[in-house]
Structure 1
């Protein structure tokens, strides 16, 4: 366990190299237990990726032990945490198929080391941004990360998970051809694979030579070390631990509350999209005044007021309105590429219809059918469905409460 009286070191790292995932996972679990670490580590046949916290001595031993397993030099990104609190509830090691999941079943695996783009130091990356003409600067993180901080002029691919990167490339490949493409992410690992995928698609289209692809070495983390005032990065750098974000020197708040559109950039584990459970920016005032605590991310913003997860708080009249709205939305979703959205709408419409039928058949068995239904049913956590007073978002990701001994 961490020493609550001493500051700790947090390391962010990755390495793409062919590995035995099972033996690597066993080694990581042993190191975590012996050194009293907390964090999250992914291992796969293609390498390792992790964020780990411990006291300085333990982290030094950990870094040396991990480096012995890899011939490539690992770029350890370190930060000091003076809060004296564990940023993760425990130390978890997971074996996965891909360190960055693109869901490329049936395709030839990417050779990330050989196919990825050209790495630029923070200084080189910054210099290229001085001349933005014909550049395509792309943020390969999720939208909820982009929302709180990004480089000036960066494109948001609109992703809620990395498996959507191939879709973005397919839809935008013609615009990228012949231009200088620059990619960035938090620490570099997503850029490595995203650039490899993009370069392969450009090669297949015969446009690899005319379309240089660069990536920010060390990601935003390294850039902010080189440019403490933020340079051309605005806002906060989202990180997947209890800190949630690391701010640049200028302190600019670029995020906006999804409800009132006022300045806000603090995520909360209890404020997620009711459809996909991605984090949504909602200010404290709007959350406190919300009757249902259900929100919608940018990708699902058109479902606002029509799609709700918890249906038992609505009256028959309200459910009928939802059903009509969902049917109208469903009718507009045409084309083969809209299949997933149609399935989502169809499933919810059936749930609403089932709920209506239940109310109509059994209105007197403890069911609330009046207009005060919203008042009688307490708010619940969208992620775990417990009463919100018991779980105000502490089940989501790194907000999970520290495991009890």
Structure 2
């Protein structure tokens, strides 16, 4: 009985590209008590493997957080089996805006302490006391009210490529970092109407409960997140108040919500909102790169990484091994920290004067 993937990722990606059927990319979550997440994890892995499902799923005693790819011909069976479990009955799905079926190439299910890493203690929030869920229509109306403050509950590399007009976009790497930052941002705004949004809604569940716990009464969150907002505005012919791309945590790295490109290539400053990971296996920095720079730097974040990937594989391994032994600083960065900072940006791995300034959208 195999409960983990054991096939090389290159082989899995090749298999995915050769598939002759369509897949549905979706996400879903639910905060609910799960008595034995380890046992459920194994049951779901076997069940979903049989249906040829891929994805990244987190289970904890507090619930489930899933991003998945399901073969279209197995979609009804997948839903039927998931809904048959009492803890997941009628759980709402957020289906991808743009979907070529290549979002995931393997199935990963992990048991964690929390389904979202938030750093909160149980006494910091009450998940039964959360903000009001707003439909896309209600959200747009609330945004038109001058007495509101809109907060992006995502990380900097997500809001950099797309966000709601006029939203506060905290410069943070993680959700854990963002929560106290948002509390500080709102410390003198307790009389304001607070609007929270994120990708699919899960981070706003915790964030709204956190704010309510700290005395904020008029806390609201976007129902279904950005993903479902796009579906609703298209279905109802509503104005789109989101500009740019919605960053997603799968192989696609983004879905276009509007035609505006509000970000810039981290290497040359050209308008661009295409995320990529540095091709150097010892780096894998997530950053924004235009086609010209991708060709110039071989898909790498710097000339240094470009030079490294041209070395024989054994030489690359030797280099990493020596760095580990000597304690030398490895060429590893935080997510997206190669981006331009006001008057400076990175070129050839060096911070220099920038020919552009980031403009507020």
- Indicate the TM-score class for this superposition, using the shorter chain for normalisation: 0.7 to 0.9
- Structure-to-structure mapping, 1:198-213, within 5 angstroms: 198-200=211-213, 202-203=214-215, 208-209=216-217, 212-213=218-219
Give deviations 1:182-234, integer Å, cap 9, x for gaps. 0001111111111111211x22xxxx34xx11000001111111223861011
Runs of 4+ in 1 over 3 A off after TM superposition: 79-83, 286-295, 380-383
- Structure-to-structure mapping, 1:136-175, within 5 angstroms: 136-175=149-188
Q: Is the 8 A contact 1:184 1:220 kept in 2?
A: yes
RMSD: 3.4
CA distance in 2 between counterparts of 1:74 and 1:180 reads 28
**Matched residue SS, 1:53:** strand
| Corresponding pairs, count | 296
Q: Is the 8 A contact 1:7 1:80 kept in 2?
A: no
| CA separation of 1:80 and 1:162: change in aligned 2, threshold 3 A | closer
**Matched residue SS, 1:108:** helix
What TM-score, normalized by structure 2, do the two folds share?
0.72
Asked whether 1:222 is paired with 2:266, we answer no
**Matched residue SS, 1:197:** helix
Structure 1: runs of 5 or more not aligned: 296-307, 313-349, 356-379, 384-405
The alpha carbon displacement at 1:287 in A equals 4.6
Tell me which residue corresponds to 2:24. 9
Name the structure with the higher strand share.
Answer: 2
Asked whether 1:77 is paired with 2:90, we answer no
Q: Is the 8 A contact 2:97 2:227 kept in 1?
A: no
Rg larger in 1 or in 2? 1
Asked whether 1:280 is paired with 2:295, we answer no
CA distance in 2 between counterparts of 1:17 and 1:238 reads 26
Q: Is the 8 A contact 1:271 1:279 kept in 2?
A: no
Tell me which residue corresponds to 2:347. none
1:111 to 117, 126, 130: 126
**Matched residue SS, 1:22:** helix
1:196 to 166, 185, 209: 209
| CA separation of 1:280 and 1:292: change in aligned 2, threshold 3 A | closer
What TM-score, normalized by structure 1, do the two folds share?
0.65
| CA separation of 1:261 and 1:271: change in aligned 2, threshold 3 A | farther
Tell me which residue corresponds to 1:305. none
CA distance in 2 between counterparts of 1:62 and 1:7 reads 15
